[in-house]
A and B are shown apart, each in its own frame.
Chain A
Amino acid sequence: MSNQKKRNFQIEAFKHRVVVDPKYAEKTWKILEHAIHEIYNHNASGLSFEELYRNAYNMVLHKFGEKLYSGLVTTMTAHLKEISKSIEAAQGDLFLEELNRKWNDHNKALQMIRDILMYMDRTYIPNSRKTPVYELGLNLWRDNIIHSGKIQSRLLSTLLELVHRERTGEVIDRGLMRNTIKMLMDLGSSVYQDDFEKPFLEVSAEFYKVESQKFIECCDCGDYLKKAEIRLNEEIERIAHYLDVKSEAKITNVVEKEMIANHMTRLVHMENSGLVNMLLDDKYEDLGRMYNLFKRVPNGLSMIRDVMTSHLRETGKQLVTDAESSKDPVEFVQRLLDERDKYDKIICQAFSNAKTFQNALNSSFEYFINLNSRSPEFISLFVDDKLRKGLKGVSEEDVEIILDKVMMLFRYLQEKDVFEKYYKQHLAKRLLSGKTVSDDAERSLIVKLKTECGYQFTSKLEGMFTDMKTSQDTMQGFYANHPELAEGPTLVVQVLTTGSWPTQPTITCNLPTEMAALCEKFRSHYLGTHTGRRLSWQTNMGTADIKATFGKGQKHELNVSTYQMCVLMLFNNADRLSYKEIEQATEIPASDLKRCLQSMACVKGKNVLRKEPMSKDIGTDDAFFVNDKFTSKFYKVKIGTVVAQKESEPEKLETRQRVEEDRKPQIEAAIVRIMKSRRVLDHNNVIAEVTKQLQSRFLANPTEIKKRIESLIEREFLERDSDDRKLYRYLA
């Protein structure tokens, strides 16, 4: 009935029955375990992801994470052990395939398992610092498969075998390789390195050691390098296709070491095909290949450079000290230029224009060009030849190119002051004989020399040009003032300023009366406008054009030297003249006279004079006649031009002596300059500073510098320090 006590009606939250049922964990685990089995057996489709996830979630929530995790480990391990057996059972080539297949399976399974156990991955595992599921899966794979006794070594040897087969030319399954290697990489870099890379590098080293030895015995240098290059490229390609990119540097090192570094010396010095032969034969491709390969190894390039340098120095030295080539200066210099061009091209085309090689080239040239003390003279003669005729008809740009090349050789000279002396001499002759091909080319070269050596070097040379121009104006003025002379012989005078032109001994001779009078008139005219100056006629340097009529009426215009003119004019008043008579009348010095007569009497085609006896040499008892039978195809006949020639021995000695004499004041000036600014300086530093100051002109000899210092001490410009004998003091 309703008289009973009212009970409070409480609404309680609906509680699931929390069953802390020990069997709960076990039951749930069994579900999951079963799922894992199914996954591994490719039966995952029948599973419910949601249900499994929930089960795992619950286990963790109810604090059974530990059981779950350890169960996972056990189950997975068990599976892997079976998998391992099946892989081991695979025969021959199928081994790798099987491994790959199982790996893929494992990966897929692992992903699914991880997804299912994601809650554990995110909570229990970090809290208990256990390895996350995915990583765990990889580790287990690594420990149970890869490092399993039966698989580990077989895997490695299979991989290496395949690489070896590919190296020997077989085609292998690169995809398979790639996947396998990727697997190792995924398992961790230490796995890749220890289980593959290290042994791979060792085996490769061995392989290339053997191969390089084989090649070097049977190949020449060029072929060997080709092969090495091929191998190197192969390895790089291999990396790209199926190995870890980080291995590239390591394997290329191996190849470089085994194939190149170990055989470098032998390759370079290989007879008939080594570096020197390649250089000689201009084998640009081979040289380029060598350069690129050797660049990769330590000291490779410096070895090439050293061999090239010593070879170049050797050839250069031979070129320069060869007696034959010294006979023709133009040839001598041309060969130097050719040699330089050759190496320039090699460095440009094969050695990628590397600065260090350029420097080696320059220092080699500097070395051997100075071995021949006549180099400065020869270079000047070369330039002389070019400016006289060599550059005729050559375009302006080409002229510049040739002159620039000559300047390059000039820069190598240590004794630039010797060059200056010769250049002055040769230039003087060119200017005075009017034999220069292009005024522009002359000036262009002067400008280049000025840029190189400074104003002082070229100021006198420019003075010479100025004199030429001034003389033209003077002549015009002369004839303008003396219109009555227009009918007589035409006089052209070049007035040379003594300091600018090379010193000449002044020898005069007796000019024919007509000329003598004319010259006097000029002298008075000139001195009239330029008081205080002194003129001396340089009859040894002049030329003359005279018209001659011979026995049968042949008329010719003869272009002769002043001396020759004097001799010929004598025959206007005499038919026969003895040597002695000629000598007396003209007062030309004996050696010059003999040469002069020889050129007119003994040279075919120029024999305007006849000599009795008909011998080749001029004797003091000879007699001379006009050669009435003289013929020539040309109306204008040129006899005896004053050409710049290679100096004879005594002339050479004289020039050299003059150069030495000129150097003394220069050295003293340098010493005084230095001491004046430093006041006190020790001996070695004085020598060093003086050498440096004079470097652009010549290489100062320490002994010579010492002599000059002693001379300055004697003349009381300097003194030695009383306490420290090594010091010098400037005495103001």
Chain B
Amino acid sequence: MPPRASKRKSVPPNSSTVTSSDGRSVSNKAKTKGMEKIDRLFNTYANSSLGMIDPEGIEALCADLGVDYTDVRILMLAWKLKSEKQGYFTREEWQTGLKALGVDSLSKLKKALPELEKEVEKPSNYEDFYTYAFRYCLTEEKQKSVDIESICELLNLVLGVQFRPQVDSLVEYLKIQNDYKVINADQWINFLRFCKEISFPDLRNYDANQAWPLILDNFVEWMREKQS
């Protein structure tokens, strides 16, 4: 995204005022009228020197939407926007995403959130969203794994509603075990499969001789010891 020519420093926007069209985009991507509105909304929150919405902007957006910025719906929004970098929305991402949502104003966006939730929870999307959540945490270049702390939070956020007991036990285990300091993508995706396929808390149909990652073998062993 080319940086804006204006040297004006960004001002975190107040509740509902929209800044004047000082912030009209230099980019020639905003063509249609609908896009104009979306664009304007973008500019409300964007960091002018960066040309994209930064964490502060997102925080403000959240406040306007009446949603906590740690709420899972923001993650879902990021997913919908196909946002690449955690904490930032680019103009393209914003435009494509809001268009896909069919919204072009704050109030419409607010109304669209529950539908977004339902969309994510559709089985065909859920796994994609889940995997996305992990990728979103890979902030450094070439980073392949995420530290345990963050994983625990992410698990809570993403799976907490649907699989509360599993998440609680898993988080407890992850915090006390020493074998792994980070979790990789393979292990992450298998957490979801575990929750979906294995009966809980009896773990009756878990077979350690199958291709489950070792961390889950250890988790199950730990659970079974606790239960006996």
> Using a CB–CB distance below 8 Å, which chain A residues touch chain B?
682-684, 687, 702-703, 706-707, 710, 713-714, 720, 725-728
Q: Residue on A with the closest CB to B193?
A: A725
Report whether A720 and B186 are in contact in the complex, using a CB–CB cutoff of 8 Å: yes
Given A706-B214, A710-B213, 17 additional A-B pairs, CB 8 A: A682-B211, A683-B210, A684-B210, A702-B209, A703-B217, A706-B213, A706-B217, A710-B187, A710-B214, A713-B186, A714-B186, A720-B186, A720-B211, A725-B190, A725-B193, A725-B211, A727-B211
A-facing mask of B159-189, CB < 8 A → 1, else 0? 0000000000000000000000000101100
Report whether A703 and B211 are in contact in the complex, using a CB–CB cutoff of 8 Å: no
CA distance A702 to B209 in the complex (A): 9
Report whether A726 and B211 are in contact in the complex, using a CB–CB cutoff of 8 Å: yes
Does chain A have a CB within 8 A of B224?
no
Report whether B186 and A710 are in contact in the complex, using a CB–CB cutoff of 8 Å: yes
Interface hub of A683, A707, A725 (most chain B Cβ within 10 A)? A725
CA distance A684 to B208 in the complex (A): 11
Report whether B214 and A714 are in contact in the complex, using a CB–CB cutoff of 8 Å: no
Residues of B within 8 A of A707 (CB): 214
Report whether A683 and B211 are in contact in the complex, using a CB–CB cutoff of 8 Å: yes
Interface hub of B144, B211, B213 (most chain A Cβ within 10 A)? B211
Question: Which 10 A-B pairs give the minimum distances between C-beta atoms?
Answer: A683-B211, A726-B211, A713-B186, A706-B214, A714-B184, A707-B214, A710-B213, A725-B211, A683-B210, A726-B210
CA distance A182 to B136 in the complex (A): 102
Residues of B within 8 A of A710 (CB): 186-187, 213-214
Q: Residue on B with the closest CB to A684?
A: B209
Residues of B within 8 A of A727 (CB): 211
Q: How large is the interface on B (under 10, 10 to 19, 20 to 34, 35 or more residues)?
A: 10 to 19
CA distance A270 to B193 in the complex (A): 58
A714 and B144 contact, Cβ closer than 8 Å, known pairs A720-B186, A725-B193? yes
Q: Residue on A with the closest CB to B209?
A: A684
**Closest CB of chain A to B214's CB: distance in Å?**
5
CA distance A710 to B214 in the complex (A): 8
**Closest CB of chain B to A650's CB: distance in Å?**
23
Residues of B within 8 A of A714 (CB): 144-145, 184, 186
Residues of B within 8 A of A702 (CB): 209
Residues of B within 8 A of A713 (CB): 186
Q: Residue on B with the closest CB to A714?
A: B184
**Closest CB of chain A to B125's CB: distance in Å?**
16
**Closest CB of chain A to B221's CB: distance in Å?**
11
Residues of A within 8 A of B190 (CB): 725
Q: Residue on A with the closest CB to B186?
A: A713
Contact sample, A vs B, 22 pairs, CB 8 Å cutoff: A682-B211, A683-B210, A683-B211, A684-B209, A684-B210, A702-B209, A703-B214, A706-B214, A706-B217, A710-B186, A710-B187, A710-B213, A710-B214, A713-B186, A714-B145, A720-B186, A720-B211, A725-B190, A725-B193, A725-B210, A725-B211, A726-B211
Q: Residue on B with the closest CB to A718?
A: B186
**Closest CB of chain A to B148's CB: distance in Å?**
16
Residues of A within 8 A of B213 (CB): 706, 710
CA distance A405 to B226 in the complex (A): 49
**Closest CB of chain B to A723's CB: distance in Å?**
12
Interface hub of A707, A720, A728 (most chain B Cβ within 10 A)? A720
Q: Residue on B with the closest CB to A687?
A: B209
**Closest CB of chain A to B82's CB: distance in Å?**
20
Report whether A728 and B211 are in contact in the complex, using a CB–CB cutoff of 8 Å: yes
Q: Residue on A with the closest CB to B215?
A: A710
CA distance A683 to B184 in the complex (A): 19
**Closest CB of chain B to A42's CB: distance in Å?**
92
Residues of A within 8 A of B184 (CB): 714
A-facing mask of B21-63, CB < 8 A → 1, else 0? 0000000000000000000000000000000000000000000
Interface hub of A702, A706, A707 (most chain B Cβ within 10 A)? A706
CA distance A383 to B59 in the complex (A): 74
CA distance A714 to B213 in the complex (A): 12
CA distance A684 to B210 in the complex (A): 7
Residues of B within 8 A of A726 (CB): 210-211
CA distance A720 to B212 in the complex (A): 11
CA distance A381 to B145 in the complex (A): 46
**Closest CB of chain A to B170's CB: distance in Å?**
18
Residues of B within 8 A of A720 (CB): 186, 211
**Closest CB of chain B to A312's CB: distance in Å?**
31
CA distance A204 to B223 in the complex (A): 65
**Closest CB of chain A to B146's CB: distance in Å?**
13
Q: Residue on A with the closest CB to B190?
A: A725
Residues of A within 8 A of B217 (CB): 703, 706
Residues of A within 8 A of B145 (CB): 714
Q: Residue on A with the closest CB to B189?
A: A720
Residues of B within 8 A of A725 (CB): 190, 193, 210-211
CA distance A683 to B208 in the complex (A): 11
Q: Residue on B with the closest CB to A716?
A: B144
CA distance A687 to B211 in the complex (A): 10
Residues of A within 8 A of B210 (CB): 683-684, 725-726
CA distance A288 to B85 in the complex (A): 83
CA distance A707 to B179 in the complex (A): 11
Q: Residue on B with the closest CB to A703?
A: B214
CA distance A584 to B210 in the complex (A): 60
Residues of B within 8 A of A682 (CB): 211
**Closest CB of chain B to A433's CB: distance in Å?**
44
**Closest CB of chain B to A721's CB: distance in Å?**
9
Residues of A within 8 A of B187 (CB): 710
CA distance A710 to B190 in the complex (A): 12
**Closest CB of chain B to A675's CB: distance in Å?**
13
**Closest CB of chain B to A641's CB: distance in Å?**
45
Residues of B within 8 A of A706 (CB): 213-214, 217
Residues of B within 8 A of A687 (CB): 209
**Closest CB of chain B to A500's CB: distance in Å?**
36
**Closest CB of chain A to B42's CB: distance in Å?**
35
CA distance A728 to B211 in the complex (A): 9
CA distance A725 to B212 in the complex (A): 8
CA distance A684 to B207 in the complex (A): 11
**Closest CB of chain A to B212's CB: distance in Å?**
8
Q: Residue on A with the closest CB to B184?
A: A714
CA distance A727 to B211 in the complex (A): 8
Residues of A within 8 A of B214 (CB): 703, 706-707, 710
Q: Residue on B with the closest CB to A704?
A: B214
Q: Residue on A with the closest CB to B213?
A: A710
A-facing mask of B89-106, CB < 8 A → 1, else 0? 000000000000000000
Residues of A within 8 A of B193 (CB): 725
CA distance A728 to B209 in the complex (A): 14
CA distance A713 to B185 in the complex (A): 10
Residues of B within 8 A of A728 (CB): 211
**Closest CB of chain B to A290's CB: distance in Å?**
43
CA distance A154 to B94 in the complex (A): 117
**Closest CB of chain A to B75's CB: distance in Å?**
23
CA distance A726 to B193 in the complex (A): 12
**Closest CB of chain A to B217's CB: distance in Å?**
8
CA distance A706 to B184 in the complex (A): 15
CA distance A706 to B212 in the complex (A): 9
Q: Residue on B with the closest CB to A726?
A: B211
CA distance A684 to B186 in the complex (A): 18
Q: Residue on A with the closest CB to B127?
A: A722
CA distance A684 to B209 in the complex (A): 7
**Closest CB of chain B to A700's CB: distance in Å?**
14
Residues of A within 8 A of B144 (CB): 714
**Closest CB of chain A to B174's CB: distance in Å?**
16
A-facing mask of B186-199, CB < 8 A → 1, else 0? 11001001000000
CA distance A713 to B188 in the complex (A): 13
CA distance A703 to B215 in the complex (A): 11
Q: Residue on B with the closest CB to A727?
A: B211
Residues of B within 8 A of A703 (CB): 214, 217
CA distance A683 to B187 in the complex (A): 16
CA distance A658 to B6 in the complex (A): 63
CA distance A710 to B211 in the complex (A): 10
CA distance A713 to B145 in the complex (A): 13
Q: Residue on A with the closest CB to B214?
A: A706
